[in-house]
Amino acid sequence: MEKKGFLIVISGFSGAGKGTVVKKLVEKHGYSLSVSATTRAPREGEVDGREYYFKTEQEFQSLIDYNGLIEWAKYVENYYGTPRKFVEEEMAAGRDVILEIEVQGAMNIKEQYPDAVLLFVTAPSADALEARLRGRGTETDEVIAKRLKRAAEESQDMNVYDYIVVNDDLDECVETVHSIIRAGKCKRSYNEDFIKEIQDEFKNR
């Protein structure tokens, strides 16, 4: 029986290390990573098409208008969205796809893909989160304050996620997420068809 790829949504507070966790999952376990589109400016060392597809607001609006995004949301004055074509082609080919997206987008994904598993990555505490944001040394106090305010808002939606994972030890966090995904694949709805297929095979022996 041909199996469609599994969709994994990973969200988390800015500064919680979700990007690093996703990078390790891709490197170590071979997941496909959907690269998001964004209107924010590239940070030092970021490459268009690798970390993000960097778009102008006009280009981003065109993607929305032509249904080129599965979901999109505005976060701290910038837009972020998930290109549709890559995700659907990878899943059709049987590959498991990770989406690293914000809370608003995650809710939209769950409506469209009920079998998707939603994980939220958090720092051990609010103080630890602020320390990580300041430790990056890439943002002003004003931006950090906005990110912390946004984190407070996002914390109100953590309960809608299937799993909450604390990123205190990176390697442990990566393996925890990988284990959750493997378990999720075993309970997904296509198993009903698979069970029937096995039952029919036994009947026909």
Domain ranges in the chain are 7-34+96-203
Residue 75 has pLDDT above 90, yes or no: no
Q: How confident is the model at residue 96 (pLDDT cuts 50, 70, 90)?
A: very high
Rounded Cα distance between 4 and 11, Å, is 23
Q: How far apart are CA 70 and CA 160, in angstroms?
A: 19
Architecture of domain 7-34+96-203: 3-Layer(aba) Sandwich (3.40)
- What is the spatial distance between Cα 30 and Cα 181, in angstroms, rounded to a whole number? 13
- Buried residues in 86-104 as b, exposed as e (16+ CB within 10 A): ebeebbeeeebbbbbbbbb
pLDDT of residue 170: 94
Residue with tokens 């809608």: 160
Rounded to 5 degrees, what angle do the CA atoms 32, 110, 179 make? 50
Residue owning tokens 């032509």: 66
Residues 45-62: what's their mean pLDDT?
92
Beta-carbon neighbour count of residue 44 at 10 Å?
Answer: 5
The whole-chain average pLDDT of the chain stands at 88
CB-based contact 166:122 (threshold 8 Å)? yes
Q: In the prediction, which pLDDT does 49 show?
A: 86
Asked if 20 contacts 166 with a C-beta cutoff of 8 angstroms, the reply is no
pLDDT for the residue numbered 113: 87
The more confident residue out of 188 and 97 is 97
